[in-house]
Amino acid sequence: MSDKENKLKTFFSKMKINFENQMQNIASCKKQFIWTVILTFIVMGITCLAVFFASVQGAEKVMVPNVVGKNLTEAILEMGEKELYPKLILKYSDDINDAGKVLEQNPPAGSIVKAYRRMTLTVSRGISLEEIEDYVGKPIDETLKRLDVLYRGEYANVKVAKPCYTKSEEAKGTIIAQFPEGGTSVYEDVTLYLIVSNGTEETLVTVPGVEGLSISALQNKINEGNLIFDITPVNVSGKEKGGIVKNQEIQGGNAVSPYTRVSLSMTVKDDSSASTRQGVMETNLPEFLYPMLIRLVEIDSYGHTKTLINSYHTGGHLTFPYEASNGSTLRLYVRDELVNEIVIQ
C-alpha cells in the first residue's frame, strides 16, 4: 500500500472517531438540551405575560365627572377632557325641559376608572306625544314657539320643516294646512310641514339671473327661492363645457308671482371617462293644493347621503338638475315619501 493510501486511511479513521465522539457527547447532553429548550419557552411566556399586563394596566386612571343634568354637547366635551367616550341610550322623559339633557350615567360620578373607557349616557329625547296636535287656524309665530318647546333638541321624534307661505283668504300669518294632519298618531320620527297664509295681497318675487351658472349654483338658487325652473338639457361634446345654464326665458330682475315657471336650457356633457355624470331628473307629479317640500338626495356607492335639492314645489312636471358620481343613487321625495329613484351609470 502506498504512502498516499495510508494517509487517506488514517484521515478517515480519525474522522470516524471524531464523529462517534460527537454523537456520544450529544447523547450525554440530551437531557440538558431538552431542559434548556423548556426553560427558554417558560422565560418567553413569562416575558409576554408581563408585557401584556403592563400594557393593560398602563392606562391612566381618571375620576368620572358628573354630567347628569347637562346637555349632551357639554357632557361629551367634559368627558373628552378625562379621555372617556360616550355610549348613548335615548329615552323619552316627562319634563319638556329635559330634551337633549343627560338623565343618567354609568359609571356614576366620582368612580375611578381607566382612561379611554366608554361611559353609558342616557339622554332625553324630550316628552313623548302620542299624536300630532292640530295647528290649523293658529298664528304661526305662537305655534313655532310652542313647537320649539315641545320638540327642541336634535333627538326629538318630531322635526319641524321651514314653513311654506302662500296666498290665501285667511289672515296673514295663519296656518291654513299641516302635514301630518292634527290627530295623527306618532309611531316613529316624523317631519311636520306647515302651510301659512301670506294674506290676500300677493307678494311678488324677483327672478334671479342664472345664465352661466353651474349645476351646483343653480341648485342653490332653486333652494333659495320659491320659483319653479323647467330645465331642458342640451347635449354638447368636444370643448364645450357641460353643466352650464345657457339661457332663461324670463330674464333676471323681473318680478313675478311665487311659483312661476321659468324655462331654462342647460348643457349636459356625456363623458363616460368622467367620475361624475350630469343630467336632469324629470318626474310628473299630481298638482298640489298647496306647495309641498321636495327633496332630491344623492346616495353614493359608500352609503354617504347628500341633499342636492330642498325646495317647495306646486307639482305637475318637475325637472331638477344634478351632477352625481358614478354608481350613486338619486332619490326624490315629496315630503318624506319616495316618488322616484334612478341609479347613475
Lowest mean pLDDT among 46-55, 128-137, 250-259: 46-55
Per-residue model confidence as pLDDT tens digits over 33-53 = 666 767 777 877 777 666 665
As a whole number, the mean pLDDT across the chain is 84
pLDDT band at 341 (very low <50, low <70, confident <90, very high): very high
Amino acid at 308: L
Q: Is the pLDDT of residue 334 over 50?
A: yes
More confident: 54 or 168:
168
Per-residue model confidence as pLDDT tens digits over 286-333 = 999 989 999 999 999 889 999 999 999 999 999 999 999 989 999 999
**pLDDT value of residue 19:** 46
Cell readout for 177 is 294646512
Per-residue model confidence as pLDDT tens digits over 154-165 = 667 788 888 999
Per-residue model confidence as pLDDT tens digits over 56-97 = 555 588 899 999 989 888 989 998 888 898 888 888 777 767
pLDDT band at 255 (very low <50, low <70, confident <90, very high): very high
Most confident among 111-115, 215-219, 290-294 (mean pLDDT): 215-219
**pLDDT value of residue 128:** 66
Phi, psi angles (nearest 5°) of residue 265: -120, 140
Percent of the chain with pLDDT over 70: 83
Whether the Cβ atoms of residue 244 and residue 282 lie closer than 8 Å to each other: no
CB atoms within 10 A of CB 296: 24
CB atoms within 10 A of CB 263: 14
